Structure 1
Amino acid sequence: MSSNRESFMHGKQLTKVFGFGQQKVTAVQAVDFDFHRGEIISIVGESGSGKTTLAKMIMGLLKESSGTIEYKGKTRQLKRHAERKAYWKDIQAIFQDPFASFNMFHKVEKLLLDCIKLQGLQLTKDERFAKMKEACSFVNLKFEELYNKYPFELSGGQMQRLMIARIFMLHPKVLIADEPTSMVDACSRSTILDMLLKLRDENNMTIIFITHDVGLAYYISDTIYIMEKGKIVERGTAEEVILSPQHPYTKQLIADVPKIHEAWNLG
């Protein structure tokens, strides 16, 4: 469980405000978090709760209005290109819509070669080929059948697997997974989750799931954070939050899934 793991990422009073004056909207308000190596965290809330905005702040894609994120014991710095590159080497993400994550004009081979470039590896052509082939094999894809294709020539399921193949190549310390299974069928959903959990086990990777799915959060998480209207209203172990909810919003979310076991078909 997370209590035995190294604590290495903290958020302190993170706030994100969009707009000015009467148009001002506070999407995330004074959020604190504490993530551990190898921990599986779910940030759960309905659409508009602020969970994706929080994920983008953690990822470094959105600048916080106030508050800080500490990473590896230091306040995160992302002003310089070199700082952002180093951070993104450690922190990666996969998103709900895999097609939005790739350049549609780049073939699969280029997308995977970019991972090797990001790591700064100096490899021969054969070594590069072997690395890409291994990554595709991990997600049950055949590199020889894909390398010359464009993303739009692949199915949604293949694209999600390709995103995981990138993670396999990059070995990040933290993976942010924003609704990664919502656009695939139940069979593919189970397979994708298994792949992500295998990566966690092999690399001691922290996975942060952003989801509205209470059943998913319960079955895969060590720790759950419940978000409502930009605030964390409840946090704790999966068992504490789902089986003994304290906050009315958490109780409402669980009430919407009357029988979690049946809803997720997991026993």
Structure 2
Amino acid sequence: MSLLEARRVRKVFGGGLWRRARVVALENFSLVFDEDTPSFTAVVGESGSGKTTLARLLLGLIEPTSGEVRFRGIPLRSLDRAGRRCFLREVQAVFQDPYEAYNPFYKVDHVLELPIRNFGLARDRRTARALIEEALAGVGLRVEETLGRYPHQLSGGQRQRIMVARALLLRPRILIADEPVSMVDASLRATILRSLLDLHRDHGVSVLYITHDLTTAYQVSHDIVVLYRGGVVEAGRVEAVVREPAHPYTRLLVGSIPLPRPDRPWRGERVLGQPAGLLPLGPRFCQFLDRCPFAMPICQQEVPPLFQLGSERAVACFLYRDQPVLSNDDLADLLCKRTATSN
């Protein structure tokens, strides 16, 4: 049984009275979190690929234009009060900018005390204090250096780790981490990512790690989904996708990672060859067409479906049109079953 699932979700912004331009932020996206088997999935892509839109849809902060996000089989918009309360406890988030989660007029203690009070996690102040100290220790923070201070008195890394500690308090079933380490220095990234891994391994929490950093995604996740302009271009087991990328865009991402070798200059996007240039476009076409050196006539006429490459992954590219076609729902179920088998 699925705990949280997105089925054929599409989100379009604009098109109203004052804003006539329409932007498709997410297209036909499906993802499943299993009730019994925790997963650690990374969603990667450059800015504007739809990553944050996906996070907001899964959290119920915005509604899809079409498709559904369901919690235990019930659409989020149809949850009753008890179901909504359960959803808010079991599906937690850590966002890119932790400062936005704080009220500058309250000490940081307030962020940790509020969920304890709202969800009745402790019977008295002593028990609540013990829970807070345990959560802070779990993310590498010392109580005497953290509590009693205002948000502006802490570093960005400390504020971010407090938000992870807050998630630890609630013992959620799913944690959606949207760029959780992009605003902290390199020395703290490992600490925060270790906290996410511990939450997954020790407490059975499914983690959706949203990032533009392919390196950290490779280090911590089991599966990976690559987004480009709102659509899935490649997905599957992280080792297969990163070590042998199949889609030209995934190759671009992997090839754009600078290597620590002074004798091998970084070539950036040139690892793909020359872009395809300006081509006459029909109403439906491959979104990567204008940057792809392998563009073919069919790429100008149709949107590539997902083609299955063995049992490990799928890729949306006509270079693999001799392979079986997968729907986005099929891919979501395939990843969910593969995670259950590997665990």
Q: Normalised by the size of structure 1, how large is the TM-score? A: 0.89
Inter-CA distance 160–261: structure 2 relative to 1 (3 Å threshold): farther
Residue 123 (structure 1) aligned with residue 123 (structure 2): yes
Instruction: Confirm or deny: 8 A CA contact 1:177 1:208 kept in the other structure.
Output: yes
Q: Report the alpha carbon displacement of residue 208 of structure 1 after superposing the two structures with TM.
A: 0.5
* In structure 2, C-alpha distance between the alignment counterparts of 1:155 and 1:193, rounded to whole Å: 17
| Correspondence for 1:31 | 29
Q: Report the alpha carbon displacement of residue 9 of structure 1 after superposing the two structures with TM.
A: 2.9
Residue 159 (structure 1) aligned with residue 159 (structure 2): yes
Inter-CA distance 57–70: structure 2 relative to 1 (3 Å threshold): same
Residue 249 (structure 1) aligned with residue 244 (structure 2): no
SS in 1 for 2:111: helix
* In structure 1, C-alpha distance between the alignment counterparts of 2:27 and 2:100, rounded to whole Å: 28
Q: Report the alpha carbon displacement of residue 92 of structure 1 after superposing the two structures with TM.
A: 0.7
Instruction: Confirm or deny: 8 A CA contact 1:95 1:180 kept in the other structure.
Output: yes
Ranges in structure 2 where 5+ consecutive residues have no aligned partner: 267-343
Specify which structure has the bigger relative contact order, considering alpha-carbon pairs within 8 angstroms and separated by 6 or more residues: 1
Q: Which has the greater radius of gyration?
A: 2
| Correspondence for 1:219 | 219
Instruction: Confirm or deny: 8 A CA contact 2:140 2:191 kept in the other structure.
Output: no
Counterpart amino acid of residue 72 in structure 1: R
* In structure 2, C-alpha distance between the alignment counterparts of 1:176 and 1:159, rounded to whole Å: 17
* In structure 2, C-alpha distance between the alignment counterparts of 1:170 and 1:133, rounded to whole Å: 14
Q: Normalised by the size of structure 2, how large is the TM-score? A: 0.70
Bigger helix share: 1
SS in 1 for 2:176: strand
Q: Report the alpha carbon displacement of residue 138 of structure 1 after superposing the two structures with TM.
A: 1.8
Counterpart amino acid of residue 138 in structure 1: G
Instruction: Confirm or deny: 8 A CA contact 2:3 2:72 kept in the other structure.
Output: yes
| Correspondence for 1:3 | none
SS in 2 for 1:180: coil
Instruction: Confirm or deny: 8 A CA contact 2:177 2:209 kept in the other structure.
Output: yes
Q: Report the alpha carbon displacement of residue 82 of structure 1 after superposing the two structures with TM.
A: 4.4
Instruction: Confirm or deny: 8 A CA contact 2:71 2:87 kept in the other structure.
Output: no
* In structure 2, C-alpha distance between the alignment counterparts of 1:8 and 1:83, rounded to whole Å: 12
Aligned residues: 258
Q: Report the alpha carbon displacement of residue 259 of structure 1 after superposing the two structures with TM.
A: 4.2
SS in 1 for 2:8: strand
* In structure 2, C-alpha distance between the alignment counterparts of 1:244 and 1:142, rounded to whole Å: 42
SS in 1 for 2:58: helix
| Correspondence for 2:7 | 12
Inter-CA distance 140–81: structure 2 relative to 1 (3 Å threshold): same
Q: Report the alpha carbon displacement of residue 78 of structure 1 after superposing the two structures with TM.
A: 5.3
SS in 2 for 1:147: coil
1:58-207 matches, cutoff 5 A: 58-77=58-77, 80-207=80-207
SS in 2 for 1:10: strand
Counterpart amino acid of residue 213 in structure 1: D
Instruction: Confirm or deny: 8 A CA contact 1:60 1:78 kept in the other structure.
Output: no
Instruction: Confirm or deny: 8 A CA contact 2:13 2:24 kept in the other structure.
Output: yes
Ranges in structure 1 where 5+ consecutive residues have no aligned partner: 1-5
* In structure 1, C-alpha distance between the alignment counterparts of 2:66 and 2:25, rounded to whole Å: 12
Shifted more, 91-100 versus 78-87: the winner is: 78-87
Inter-CA distance 199–249: structure 2 relative to 1 (3 Å threshold): same
Counterpart amino acid of residue 70 in structure 1: R
Q: CA RMSD in A?
A: 2.3
Shifted more, 203-212 versus 120-129: the winner is: 120-129
